[in-house]
Chains A and B, each alone.
Chain A
Amino acid sequence: MSASTGDLLTRLGGHDPVVIVFYRDHDSQTDLLELCELLAPSGAPTLRSGAVEDAFRGEYKNTILLVTPADEVSAVRTLDGRREQLLDREAPAILFLLQGGSAESFYNTDAPALASIVRGLTYDPEPPPIETDLARRRAEFRQKHDRTPSEWVRAWRNDELPDTADNNLVAHEAWTLRTR
Chain B
Amino acid sequence: MNTWHRLAQHVDEQRSGATLTNVQSSLLRRLRRAADLGVCDRAVQGWFTTEADQLTLSNAAPAGPSRRPAIPLHNLEHLVDGAYLTLGVTFDRSRRRVEEYSIQLRGSRRIPCSTPWYARVDLDRVARGIGPCSHAVLHTHVGTTPENDDVPSDGGERKRFSTRVPTPWLSPADALDWLLAVADRRFEPAQPEPR
Q: Which residues of A does B touch, CB under 8 Å?
A: 3-10, 24, 27-28, 31-32, 34-35, 38-39, 125-126, 129, 133-134, 137, 156-157, 159-160, 162-166, 168-169, 171-173, 175-177
Flag whether B125 is at the interface (Cβ < 8 A): yes
Are B45 and A176 closer than 8 Å at their CB atoms? no
Alpha-carbon gap, A177 to B160, bound state (A): 26
Contacts A6-B46, A159-B129, A165-B102; A28 near B158 (Cβ below 8 A): no
Are B147 and A164 closer than 8 Å at their CB atoms? yes
With beta carbons under 8 angstroms apart, the residue of A39, A126, A165 that contacts B104 is: A165
Are B162 and A163 closer than 8 Å at their CB atoms? yes
Are B146 and A5 closer than 8 Å at their CB atoms? no
Task: Bits for B24-54, please: 1 = Cβ < 8 Å to A, else 0.
Answer: 1100110010000000000001111111111
**List of 6 A-B pairs having minimum Cβ-Cβ separation, nearest first:** A6-B46, A168-B102, A31-B21, A165-B104, A5-B48, A3-B50
Are A172 and B100 closer than 8 Å at their CB atoms? yes
4 additional A-B residue pairs with CB within 8 Å, beyond A137-B52, A156-B128, A168-B102? A8-B46, A38-B28, A168-B88, A171-B100
**Contacts of B93 on A, CB cut-off 8 Å?**
24, 126
Alpha-carbon gap, A5 to B50, bound state (A): 9
**Contacts of B46 on A, CB cut-off 8 Å?**
4-10
With beta carbons under 8 angstroms apart, the residue of B45, B54, B90, B122 that contacts A5 is: B45
Are B102 and A172 closer than 8 Å at their CB atoms? yes
Contacts A39-B45, A168-B102, A169-B102; A162 near B66 (Cβ below 8 A): no
28 residue pairs A–B, Cβ–Cβ below 8 Å: A5-B45, A5-B58, A28-B20, A28-B21, A31-B19, A31-B21, A31-B25, A34-B21, A35-B21, A35-B24, A38-B28, A125-B50, A126-B53, A137-B52, A159-B158, A159-B160, A162-B150, A162-B160, A163-B141, A165-B86, A165-B106, A165-B118, A168-B100, A168-B122, A171-B100, A172-B102, A175-B90, A176-B53
**Contacts of A168 on B, CB cut-off 8 Å?**
88, 100, 102, 120, 122
**Contacts of B102 on A, CB cut-off 8 Å?**
165, 168-169, 172
Are B60 and A160 closer than 8 Å at their CB atoms? no
**Contacts of B128 on A, CB cut-off 8 Å?**
156-157, 159
Are B146 and A162 closer than 8 Å at their CB atoms? yes
Q: Which residue of B lies closest to A33 (CB)?
A: B21
Alpha-carbon gap, A162 to B147, bound state (A): 7
With beta carbons under 8 angstroms apart, the residue of A34, A134, A156, A163 that contacts B25 is: A34
Flag whether B56 is at the interface (Cβ < 8 A): yes
Are A31 and B120 closer than 8 Å at their CB atoms? no
CB B38 to nearest CB in A, in angstroms, measures: 16
**Contacts of B120 on A, CB cut-off 8 Å?**
165, 168
Alpha-carbon gap, A169 to B19, bound state (A): 19
CB A34 to nearest CB in B, in angstroms, measures: 6
CB B47 to nearest CB in A, in angstroms, measures: 7
Alpha-carbon gap, A169 to B126, bound state (A): 15
Alpha-carbon gap, A52 to B24, bound state (A): 28
Are B51 and A3 closer than 8 Å at their CB atoms? yes
Are A5 and B47 closer than 8 Å at their CB atoms? yes
Alpha-carbon gap, A153 to B47, bound state (A): 27
Contacts A4-B49, A126-B50, A129-B52; A175 near B86 (Cβ below 8 A): no
Are A166 and B68 closer than 8 Å at their CB atoms? yes
